[in-house]
Structure 1
């Protein structure tokens, strides 16, 4: 069997994923993974037992439809099933989650039915086999009649998987169940026939052993699938929480899937918003807890953005659709969580390697136990009992569930809290993080700048106002939040040409009539470092603003150069600051709590900003941050992260803007605030849908809790088998007790993983 490599090769082709039904343990997943890895054109294959999905990455040499058919055929030959609707395009996530729910219901019903039949037949079988007073003449034949349907029909799912794996010279957990139960039934049948023919003396029959093993394993499986089905509730609820219809402005009701960009629809109080859009009329409190994890509804007015799947609680909205179908935020969240659940954590690779060799090793240990008991004691019954106990106690169900189920529950709970994990590796990266770097604007602060004051030197008010209008006209060309705040506060516009952004410093453009003598002038707006001379009056106003935690922007002008080439700043006359514009950005009310939460998690907190040192220090003091790195150009943020890493820190970076993307990618763990840009989200490992910085603490805490759960699951799964196999081989563990213990270990892993559903985080009210 070929295991998937530790690191998937980079290929240009998109991965192909198919749902798989019929897996019962990690060995089943390993068997399918090995079969798919051998297909032509497959560069890497991964099969996730908890999500029941097979994903392959191709080398780009094979047609996706042909590969999907090859995958379906291989999986069927191994004894498992692929839903007929699954193809190279595959169902939508919404359809696939519905299929999973239906499949879970069918599996639960099937295990329940098989368990009830087995239990009804096994109870009388145990009584006549283990209570001498109930053993009448010929009771062994009745035992055979009772045990045969249990070992044959009730246990058939295990036998079917064993046969499919054997065709590919592979073994799974089902192999152990089949060998153990069929061996018990076969040995007992041989003994019964031998007694009928006067042979085999006083050898005992063990019909009840095989039947009880099947019954207990089916009980454990029934309970396991019922519990593990709950693991996917969060993401299924997320993908299904959408309106089925939408009411257009003219009253027409259409299917949600028929909505197109630009269409306007009405959402009344209590209704689910059909898709992402912008409010064009009305206002309402919107409950967005489904996607942000925030319990308090947010007031949305005309011009505000809304997310499909959220609820307008108290008002009527007219919304223009801006995203539909698979592009909506809800669909993207579901897709990201789904990809995270399909991925494979690094810690899982050890379990994968063990699962590949575990079953053959157990069969060898069982055979050795049988031979050793026969040689040492000569007691065939005791030898047989010990060998079967080794087979049954070794079933690695718990091992297969340990990692994927915890990831499934953890990422699902994260989605409910507005925390999206890009992949399992991100969970593991949180463990060693020692330092968290926070971008200031839009992360620690609201990111909604407002112009507090604008002062230009000179005694002529009209000329000062004209110059400030010229400054606003230049800033209107920039997308920076500070520039937009200045432009919005002074709407008068003057013709501008030759606009140029000076990375991380400011902007410059030629403005018609902006010179003192009425001619054209090059107007420069930005940071101190752009100016050759700053008059005392301007400097005093700037310093006062910065001490109050505000941002001071300077502006000046020089005669127009006739063009803004690369050497314009060097060739111009000395630039004197003639105006100071003070911009304010309020600190988010929860930022101080977030910083305290980071410290509680054992992290050193650093504030990183391109703003001036005085303003940055004021904000840092307000939220409780001691270390500040200010006046950093956008292109240098990633270098700051590298320097911290060179000092030995494992760095997490939280940011929201385009200029944060390189730093997010450079950090050991990148966390993007979901209210920021798509570029930042793509570069990050974790995305926080909410703008609340405490959600970043929730993300780290949940990731660590999930990883801790995975490690606990793996420890107990390994410890269980390590301790139990020797006990079974020594004859201390009865096969029936072994079967019950095996089921119990799986239920422990399921229950331990489901505890993650109760994770509350730092945003939950605390007593």
Structure 2
């Protein structure tokens, strides 16, 4: 009898099992986040950092003691059950505040764990004198050590490439799967980060950090929020809330002798409830979560904020400095038109432009070659024997020395004019200046072309604006932010590009010193300034700016000088950063307004309840028509506790931001969150009171 072979079920079920395991791990992580992390934060050393919630925490201990002995602080008509219910509500209030902070912190911990895995048990090949090497642990490396990292090895420490060129996989930091080339002598591609992987060739690296102080170490601590420092505005608001809390504690404490004078019986638990209901517990519970969420929001945009202060400053920025290339324009200028001078045919200019660009490795040179080919050029023999002159910043020209003796050059108009006059004594075509000026006035860049000292015409290189840049500039202007373009172009070209992009101002032919002077001038006028940069020469300006956004692919000095690093190396992130900062500030202001408005409404719930028996005239203030003093107090406390988890999603997500002026946003939030915060307690407390009446 033929026996059927069993199907290999195990391999087929493995993905299913893996998915179940991941779901189980996610459930366990959620339970830990909801149950364990908030419980850890009941530590008094943690609670005292938040003065508002610390008062609630102390109140919980007091009512817990009264639950065990209702007569602990003197005669009282409150039962242990009533005191126990108050204790439970206060405990839940502190729990929800801890939960808000734990949820904000929990977002980054998974990423931090994956980053930390890359830093464990790494070895390094250290170079010694005399050409000798030794294998050591990454932890033993020190600044200025030389190490060699070969193909398929992890880079053990931050550093600068001093020898070699190789592709490096940085996906564990940037999320970008495409490797990037790292080479010595480059201003923007020589910096490497510990934990990234060399996938071709090998590199000799000069270590620029020590263990515990690497870029990855800072990234992990910032992602986890373990070393998060409060921003100036957050500190100021915390002080204000602490003062308000202290005032309410003093006022409520003074109520006890007043009640005794009026022969009104007030329980200590009721006084504790009154304090908790009147102090700004809502914003006190959510304030830390709002700050952590602001930093986390930058991380989800793949930006690493070195401090919450930088994110907050982005929301208050008055002046935005934007590089033209890569930020306002796509980056690589494209050849779009050939303009011959009088007496030269278009075909002659096409041929010369093609020959002059053969050895130009810049994007503009390649664009000119492709454009000439697309237009149709004459066949040229013996090009393989030509000698090329690549473009350089010194000559601002490129070209070819052909085998037949002709010399073809292409470059900036002023450079080429000087070249043909000095080398050949040639006359300059009468219409050259007019053509070049016309190109510049259109916002394009003119390049002149010459053969054997005879200028043939102009190549028009056009900058292509990034999609939506004009709309973004209009939004920033509506928010009261001044945009300034920084470019090395001539003033005529710069003015046209700035006008096309809808920017407020521009600085042409800018040097690093010019950027630094501009930032200082703006700051002297009382403005906050933000800018981007990636090179070593940008480091002084990045350090001077209130918000300095450095590209991750930039040099180590640029990254160390900046307070925010863009892991995608996209200069346009500066515009997103302003929006993130505005959103954090608006969220904090909106929830503060809501919290204070809530407290005002709760006065009408608890104060009449406490004194209605002794002072029947206060019944007129019982606008909610609550059933009994006990139900009024419990309803206010329950509402006070429930409003915290209800607002956690808003605190983490942020209030919707609209590109409008600060004054417009202020009045809008005052209406929505001020009036809304005033009305919500009247509705919520009354509904809770109706639910409690059957049980009292």
Coarse TM-score class (shorter-chain normalised) = 0.5 to 0.7
* CA contact 1:392–1:738 (8 Å) conserved in 2: no
* Equivalent-residue separation in structure 1 for 2:32 and 2:430 (angstroms): 72
Q: What's the CA shift for 1:704? A: 1.2
2:474 match: 599
1:729 match: 607
2:106 match: 233
Q: 1:608 aligns with which of 486, 493, 503?
A: 486
* CA contact 1:181–1:211 (8 Å) conserved in 2: yes
1:574 match: none
Q: What's the CA shift for 1:353? A: 2.7
Q: What aligned pairs does 1:80-479 form with structure 2 within 5 A after superposition?
A: 108-109=35-36, 172-183=55-66, 185-188=68-71, 204-236=77-109, 237-238=111-112, 239-240=115-116, 242-246=118-122, 257=139, 262-265=146-149, 286=169, 288=171, 291-292=173-174, 296-301=176-181, 303=183, 308=193, 323=207, 325-326=211-212, 328-334=214-220, 342-376=228-262, 378-380=263-265, 386-394=270-278, 397-441=281-325, 443=327, 446=331, 452=365
Q: 1:753 aligns with which of 651, 655, 663?
A: 651
Closer, same or farther: CA 528–667 of 1 in aligned 2, 3 Å: farther
Q: What's the CA shift for 1:687? A: 3.6
Q: What aligned pairs does 1:505-654 form with structure 2 within 5 A after superposition?
A: 536=428, 540=432, 543=436, 549-550=444-445, 591-594=466-469, 596-601=471-476, 602=478, 603-616=481-494, 627-641=505-519, 651-654=529-532
* Equivalent-residue separation in structure 2 for 1:634 and 1:172 (angstroms): 52
User: Deviation per CA, 1:99-149, whole angstroms, max 9, x where unpaired?
Assistant: xxx9x96995496699xxxxxxxxxxxxxxxxxxxxxxxxxxxxxxxxxxx
Q: CA RMSD in A?
A: 5.8
Closer, same or farther: CA 182–739 of 1 in aligned 2, 3 Å: farther
How many equivalent pairs are there?
518
Q: 2:580 aligns with which of 677, 685, 702?
A: 702
- SS class of match (1:631): coil
* CA contact 1:658–1:680 (8 Å) conserved in 2: yes
* CA contact 1:286–1:310 (8 Å) conserved in 2: no
Q: What's the CA shift for 1:612? A: 1.8
What is the TM-score when the length of structure 1 is the normalising length? 0.52
Point out where structure 2 has 5 or more consecutive residues left out of the alignment.
Answer: 1-28, 127-133, 184-188, 333-360, 369-384, 402-411, 610-628, 660-696
Closer, same or farther: CA 218–548 of 1 in aligned 2, 3 Å: closer
* CA contact 2:63–2:84 (8 Å) conserved in 1: no
What is the TM-score when the length of structure 2 is the normalising length? 0.57
* Equivalent-residue separation in structure 2 for 1:329 and 1:584 (angstroms): 43
* Equivalent-residue separation in structure 2 for 1:274 and 1:723 (angstroms): 59
1:22 match: none
Closer, same or farther: CA 350–686 of 1 in aligned 2, 3 Å: same
Closer, same or farther: CA 538–265 of 1 in aligned 2, 3 Å: farther
* CA contact 1:262–1:321 (8 Å) conserved in 2: yes
Q: What's the CA shift for 1:685? A: 4.8
Point out where structure 1 has 5 or more consecutive residues left out of the alignment.
Answer: 1-101, 115-154, 192-199, 455-464, 476-481, 492-524, 555-576, 762-767
Closer, same or farther: CA 617–449 of 1 in aligned 2, 3 Å: farther
* Equivalent-residue separation in structure 1 for 2:544 and 2:582 (angstroms): 21
* CA contact 1:637–1:662 (8 Å) conserved in 2: no
Q: What's the CA shift for 1:266? A: 5.9
Closer, same or farther: CA 225–360 of 1 in aligned 2, 3 Å: closer
